[in-house]
Amino acid sequence: MCAVSNWGGYALAGAVANSVDCLPSKEEETEILRKVVAAGARDGILRVQGGMTVDGLSLEENLDVLGKIQDLVKNR
């Protein structure tokens, strides 16, 4: 279970592949979010358009969790 579906997907992909190669870097994740926001996406919780947030959480919070997932996969 996870609070944000992106996190669950990344954790599952990393565990199945047993490699961080299938996970985006923090830079790639930031660029993905930037492009999604530019295309008009809304935050799933806040329902606002144009913010660099995912499910009500800041970009920094999301990148922190992505980094933790990467660390777990590397140290598995």
Using one digit for the tens of pLDDT, what is the confidence trace for 9-26? 999 999 999 999 999 999
Please give the biggest Cα pair distance in the chain.
37
The span from the CA of 24 to the CA of 71, in Å, is 13
pLDDT at 63: 98
68, 9 Cβ separation under 8 angstroms: no
pLDDT at 76: 86
CA proximity to 70, closest of 28, 24, 9: 24
pLDDT tens, residue by residue, 34-74? 999 999 999 999 999 999 999 999 999 999 999 999 999 99
Residue type, 19: S
> Does 1 have pLDDT greater than 90?
no
